[in-house]
Amino acid sequence: MQKRKLGNSLEVSAIGLGCMGMSFSYGPAPDKSEMLALLRSAVDRGVTFFDTAEVYGPFANEELVGEALAPVRDNVVIATKFGFKLDPNGGPQWIGLDSRPQHIRQVAESSLKRLRTDVIDLFYQHRVDPDVPIEDVAGAVKDLIQESKVKHFGLSEAGAQTIRRAHAVQPVTALQSEYSLWWRRPEAEILPVLAELGIGFVPYSPLGKGFLTGKIDDKTTFDSTDFRNNLPRFTPEARKANQAVVDLLGKIAAAKRATPAQIALAWLLAQKPWIAPIPGTTKLHRLEENIGATEIELSAEDLSAIETAAANIRVEGERYPERLEQLTGR
């Protein structure tokens, strides 16, 4: 597996593994023993970068990742997140944001226990909290770094000015935000800031929450608990309109003897050497398919052709309902 560097010193596999779907969001949680085996299979295949969060479950995903990776802890990078206020009655939904320094410390201590480790490799603010100055957030993580409880500071879905302000207090190693061929907003303002400051980029949903694999169409039905049922971009009408993006990937994939998913990931890897996407999956053959994207080289001509074709495709539907979109770009 190829390696990439986030920030100045965090080396990760070029393709990481987003673990959320192993216990949260995409319908009923799969069998735990199967997910433990999948996580360990990922390590065997060279994946060293694993992404989780306390809110995934809540808590169940961190516990899963911690159990799976404990035997190989020194050989992997584990990223987790803070910043949501969880239901004190144990409900499955978050009820607000909370990035107060004392809460950040509480989350860190609890995450360390669930992850069965003494240090968090990469600690992201999951969403920017408008009620807490980002300088206070960065300062709280800086304290944790000085105490050797955290190694690196990250942000998720933060705006350019917030990134700058945080970085001035505690260097930001990575930004995790959505980025793919059907969500390219980071290109306008975010990627130039990351390049200027030397911050790595970790795209989540690099396969468009499964749509860019070519395995979903307007007739696909999702489990009633699948959060894609609530996304404007996943209405049957939007999926039908957005099939043009998948058709483009399929055409290139056929020429490269690859799959649409592999082309989507290879395109991301080709954008910048400091980009490390984290596609999620619950299936071994999909994991192997995603890893295979690192072997695909897209030439300048390939990338130009993709750019030209993509420019003529209008993606339909917002990526999130308004309530969730308001949490991004701040």
Name the CA radius of gyration of the chain, rounded.
19
Closest CA to 177 of 19, 330, 59: 330
* Token pair for 185: 């907003």
Q: Are 152 and 176 in contact (CB under 8 A)?
A: no
Which residues are part of the catalytic machinery?
56
According to DSSP, the residues that pair with 119 across neighbouring strands are none
User: Residue 205 in contact with residue 180, Cβ under 8 Å?
Assistant: yes
CB 39 within 8 A of CB 31: no
Do residues 147 and 188 lie in contact, with contact meaning Cβ atoms separated by under 8 Å? Answer: no
Reference 214, options 185, 182, 172, 178; nearest CA is: 182
Residue that is written with structure tokens 């735990």 in the block: 32
Contact (Cβ atoms closer than 8 angstroms) between residue 141 and residue 169: no
Q: Are 292 and 253 a contacting pair, CB within 8 Å?
A: no
Q: Which conformational region is residue 317 in: left (phi greater than 0), alpha (psi within -120 to 50 degrees), or beta?
A: left
Is 200 strand, coil or helix? strand
DSSP 208-247: GGGGGGT---TT----TTBGGGG-GGGSHHHHHHTHHHHH
